[in-house]
Amino acid sequence: MNKVTVLGSLNVDTTFRIKDFPQAGETVQVKSKSNAAGGKGANQAVAAAREGAQTSFIGQIGNDGAGQFMLDSLKADKIDSTFVSENESVGTGTANIMLDDNGQNCILVYGGANQTLTAEEVQKAEPTIKNSDFVVAQFETPQDAAIAAFKIAKQNGVTTVLNPAPAPSNGIKPELLKLTDIIVPNELESASITGIKITDQVSMTATAKKFADLGVANLIITIGDKGAFYSTPDKAEMLPAYKVKAVDTTAAGDTFIGAFVSQVAPDFSNIVSAVKFAQHASSLTVQRLGAQPSIPTLDEVLKVEKESAS
């Protein structure tokens, strides 16, 4: 069983189902509205926990009902929330999600307490980080917090996983990249960071070289319904996606990352099987509504893997 610590965001998601995305100045009718626990960090932690990893979380909430709701959601999945701190002056993060009839989404995120998480708060979690196999971070919390976590991880032989989402407008701090063992962007985030548009195998290979030059030796690019490209110093390959009818893609990428770290070895020796497992997990997620409610369990993923192999 992998031990995974996730540093990241805690958001209460409000999803609005609509026929089509509005144009500028247009008012559209909402078909339905629902609330669920979310945030990229929390989603990834839930995915890791449901796929069998012993999971801990580092983050921050506000002193409000939304914060308690998020704590309860972590505990429901047996995620250790010891190092989720509370900000007395800033509210818990929220996300408003527009979901169209094709299963595509647009998301408006209010960072709230996620954005006030400090390196000092992260350092309090050193005992948990040291005892982990993997530490995962994204960009809905400050980069300085991720740097603090990754420094502790690297000093203790813990593998670091960076999901550069959402892609930061002011770029990624070079120090963070040098502390990263594997980076997992989607194709748009990858292009934003490297300047290389993902179009074919040549562009993927060039992207892997660019990240290696920046200090990250291992890469996975998720490319929606086309699949995922992975690259290590030893091998690289495009793995096609499993074809399903998507109804909501909200937590697909987060499910992929959480499922991946629940299965992969710290030296990435089983990266192919771990990526395929993560693809099966995310293929289940996109067939369901909501963020965390859509994330499958280990038994569900294993069942789909068995069916796919037969």
Report whether 175 belongs to an annotated binding site.
Answer: no
Check if 20 is active-site: no
Contact call for residues 261 and 134 (beta carbons, < 8 A):
yes
Comparison of pLDDT for 237 and 107, the residue scoring more: 237
SS3 annotation, 227-263:
EEEEECCCCEEEEECCCCCCCCCCCHHHHHHHHHHHH
Does the pTM surpass 0.85? The reply is yes
Delimit the domains of the chain by residue range. Answer: 3-20+30-309
pLDDT, mean over the chain: 95
Average pLDDT over residues 233-258: 92
> How do residues 53-93 score in pLDDT, each as one tens digit?
999 999 999 999 999 999 999 999 999 999 999 999 999 99
DSSP state of 114: G
Report whether 2 belongs to an annotated binding site.
Answer: no
Task: For domain 3-20+30-309, give the fold.
Answer: UDP-N-acetylmuramoyl-L-alanine:D-glutamate ligase (3.40.1190)
Average pLDDT over residues 111-132: 97
Report whether 250 belongs to an annotated binding site.
Answer: yes
pLDDT at 290 over 80: no
Q: If we measure between CA atoms, which residue out of 295, 296, 251, 245 comes closest to residue 97?
A: 251
Q: Tell me, what's the pLDDT at 50?
A: 98
Q: Of 77, 133, 181, 254, which is the active-site residue?
A: 254
Contact call for residues 24 and 56 (beta carbons, < 8 A):
no
> How do residues 185-229 score in pLDDT, each as one tens digit?
999 999 999 999 999 999 999 999 999 999 999 999 999 889 999
Q: If we measure between CA atoms, which residue out of 59, 27, 20 comes closest to residue 40?
A: 59
**Buried/exposed code over 216-247 (b: 16+ C-beta within 10 A; e: otherwise):** bebbbbbbeeebbbbbbeeeeeebebbeeebe
* Residue 258: strand pairing partners: none
Report whether 294 belongs to an annotated binding site.
Answer: yes
Residue 257 has a CB neighbour count (10 Å cut-off) of 28
Average pLDDT over residues 100-115: 90
Average pLDDT over residues 248-271: 95
Q: How far apart are alpha carbons 52 and 225 in whole angstroms?
A: 25
Q: Tell me, what's the pLDDT at 216?
A: 98
* Residue 173 dihedral angles phi and psi, to the nearest 5°: -65, 130
The order of strands in the sheet holding 54-62 is: 80-87, 54-62, 3-7, 134-137, 159-162, 182-183, 218-222, 227-231, 236-240
> How do residues 124-182 score in pLDDT, each as one tens digit?
999 999 999 999 999 999 999 999 999 999 999 999 999 999 988 889 999 999 999 99
Q: Tell me, what's the pLDDT at 22?
A: 93
pLDDT at 275 over 80: yes
Report whether 50 belongs to an annotated binding site.
Answer: no
